[in-house]
Structure 1
Amino acid sequence: MTTFDDRENAFENKFAHDEEMKFRAEARRNKLVGLWAAGLLGKTAAEADAYARDVIAADFQEAGEEDVYRKLAADLGHRADEMTIRAKMSELMVEAKRQIMNEA
């Protein structure tokens, strides 16, 4: 193998790793934001876990986080406005990344 091939493989491996970490962080963020929303909705612990799984599943409807936002906005109604939901999603993305980095 040439040096070029080695570099190409290294870049491909880094890209794959970065994409996996991004996916894990988004899934963790969705779980955390689902638990936050479940608290606002007054759900029990078991109901909150189920709701968090529903929020995670909502992210698979389309690329990006708009599908998650729409689910939260529809479910929360008057309990949280757009700015509050989006701020919490951003805040919990930072927390999700921190948690994943601490696990590694």
Structure 2
Amino acid sequence: MSLFDDRERAYEAKFAHDADLRFKAEARRNRLLGEWAAEILGKSGEEARSYAMTVVTSDFEEAGDEDVFRKLAGDLEGQVDAAAIRAKMAEMMTEARRQVFNEAN
């Protein structure tokens, strides 16, 4: 086993770990966004949890965040403007990363 092979394996392991944390943070952000939107829509309890899951699953439509944005913008039309949704998406990503990082350590 050469030093190069060891470094390559370490790099691959770090890449996989980082990708896993990124996926978890995005899913957490989407759940948090769903809970935020559910509150605005007047949902609570199981109905709010179910709605939050629809936001999480909306992220599987295409790569990137636009699918989640479209879901929220459509559901919150007339109640929250696009700029506020995008700001909340950024805020919730910061919070989700913090939560996932704290759970990983």
Per the normalisation by structure 2, the TM-score is: 0.97
Amino acid at match of 1:36: W
Amino acid at match of 1:20: D
Cα distance in 2 for residues equivalent to 1:25 and 1:44 = 23
Report the equivalent of 1:83.
83
Residue identity (%): 60
Report the equivalent of 1:58.
58
Shift of 1:43: 0.5
**Structure 2 stretches lacking a partner, 5+ long:** none
Cα distance in 2 for residues equivalent to 1:52 and 1:16 = 27
Report the equivalent of 2:36.
36
* Bigger fraction of residues in helix: 1
Q: Deviations over 1:57-85 (max 9, x none)?
A: 00000000100000000000011111000
Shift of 1:87: 0.3
Shift of 1:102: 1.4
3-state SS of paired residue (1:26) = helix
Cα distance in 2 for residues equivalent to 1:77 and 1:67 = 15
Count of residue correspondences: 104
Per the normalisation by structure 1, the TM-score is: 0.98
Cα distance in 2 for residues equivalent to 1:76 and 1:17 = 35
Amino acid at match of 2:94: V
1:2 maps onto 2:2 in alignment:
yes
RMSD value, Cα: 0.5
Amino acid at match of 2:15: F
Shift of 1:45: 1.6
